[in-house]
Amino acid sequence: MLSSIPLSPEVSAGKRAVSRCDSLGVPPFSDTPAGLFRAYLSPAHAATLEQVGAWMRESGMSTRIDAAGNLIGHYDGLTPDAHVLLIGSHLDTVRDAGRYDGALGVMLGIEVVSFFHKQQKRFPFALEVIGFGDEEGSRFPVSMLTSRAVAGTLPALPAALHDAANVSLHDALHENHLDPARYTEAARPPGTVLAYLEAHIEQGPVLDTLGEATGIVTAIAAQHRYHVTITGEAGHAGTIPMPLRHDALAAAAEAILAVEQTAKDGPSDLVATVGQLELEPGAPNVVPGSVRLSIDVRAGSDAARDQGAAQICAQIETLANRRGVSLTIQRQHDLPATCCDPQLTALLARSARRINGSEPHFLVSGAGHDAMIMAALAPVCMVFIRCHKGISHNPAESVSAQDTEKAFEIMVDFIISFSEKNETEQEF
């Protein structure tokens, strides 16, 4: 059932955006009855597209769902063939998620368009708000799949992708009335998107520590993600002497500590995480024979990321040889550092100065965002919103309506400034 939050003068754009995220945090907009989990192409995802699409239309936009399952709201420019300023973020979540990661950026995009629609203001460019379907990669083992499709960096739909229930991506697309053969038709023609603007919670503690409502992103960190399998020899826990064991879990434990220590010893922007661990056979009286784990390595530059990742892999190989276990390391993601466009970032910072009355804080995002993919299509910029204690990917994720209102005002001012700048340069 579609919910309605009235567009009344008594409710600020920031408060309405937060409230709408809250309303999307429970069934039918979650795939789980307790806690929030909204997976790409799931029933909760479909219900969310219906609800958010209704809010887009209330705000003066026409809506469509593209070939990759992204929801798009379109607000016409002064001419029918006007190019687009794209505002967006994602609508999917991790498991047991917070309510604002991704969704808040989409809600703010709707609020911005609603503001201009009520003012009967149009620009030489169209405004579009996009809710990307898959950023987190929480259902299928590939992240940012739908922004890759839009940016034109996905040459073909990956084959043989299955979720934890063994449902294939192809079947999930068919269930949502999408044709896998047409997936890459979501790509935007080069030059048709003038700029991409994304508002997002920081997902870190910097702004909260500084007491700043918003921040301006200068770059998004480089990332490597690995799938590691350590294979030892399973055996009876009571009969195999310690010196003769080839314990895969003990090797994995040492590997995890090596990952942590390498990041601690590296540059300040280097972080490394083991976030998944699976072992077999998983019995209390059996020496573990096989362990699978993930390693996520990030840094503000490709060079720092590459050096840290190389050191981690070398250390794991050394300990595997010493412990007599076999090892495979497969790199799953290779995301380069993404610089936000300097001119757009300067324009966004100028808007932040006007709205906040102070110099904005500039920061590098350690988390990946759709903006890093969209940079292949158009210049990008990002505004961060303070989240309480930096908590994210967690039900305790929290933002204030006041901070969100500041981000809304910055976005409105930015779009007006962007229009004035481009009209002066006669780009349209």
- Which residues belong to the annotated binding site for Zn(2+)? 90, 101, 136, 200, 393
For β-strands 271-273 and 290-299, DSSP reports them as antiparallel
**Strand boundaries in 260-372, DSSP class E:** 271-273, 277-280, 286-287, 290-299, 326-335, 338-339, 361-365
The DSSP annotation for 278-307 comes to EEES--TTEE--EEEEEEEEEESSHHHHHH
Q: Is 41 left (phi over 0), alpha (psi -120 to 50) or beta?
A: left
Q: Which long-range contacts (CB under 8 A, 24 or more apart) does 421-424 make?
A: 421/347, 422/124, 422/125, 422/194, 423/124
- Residues comprising the binding site? 90, 101, 136, 200, 225, 285, 298, 393
Enumerate the β-bridge partners of residue 295.
226
Q: How many Å apart are CA 173 and CA 235, to the nearest integer?
A: 43
Count of CB atoms situated within 10 Å of the CB of 6 = 9
Segments in 166-246 forming alpha helices (H): 169-175, 206-210
Q: Which two tokens stand for residue 314?
A: 């070398």
Annotated binding-site ranges for allantoate:
225, 285, 298
Cα separation, 110 vs 118, in Å, equals: 12
CA diameter of the chain: 81
Q: Which residues contact 47 (CB under 8 A, 6 or more apart)?
A: 28, 29
CB atoms within 10 A of CB 389: 14
d(CA 13, CA 419): 22
* CA 71, chain centre distance (Å): 16
* Strand, coil or helix: 226: strand
Could you give the 3-state DSSP secondary structure of residue 392? coil
User: How far, in Å, are 103, 114, 129, 376, 393 from residue 17 at the CA level?
Assistant: 9, 12, 14, 29, 19
Cα(170)–Cα(401) distance, integer angstroms: 39
Two tokens, residue 161: 């992708």
CA angle 133, 139, 145 (to 5 degrees): 45
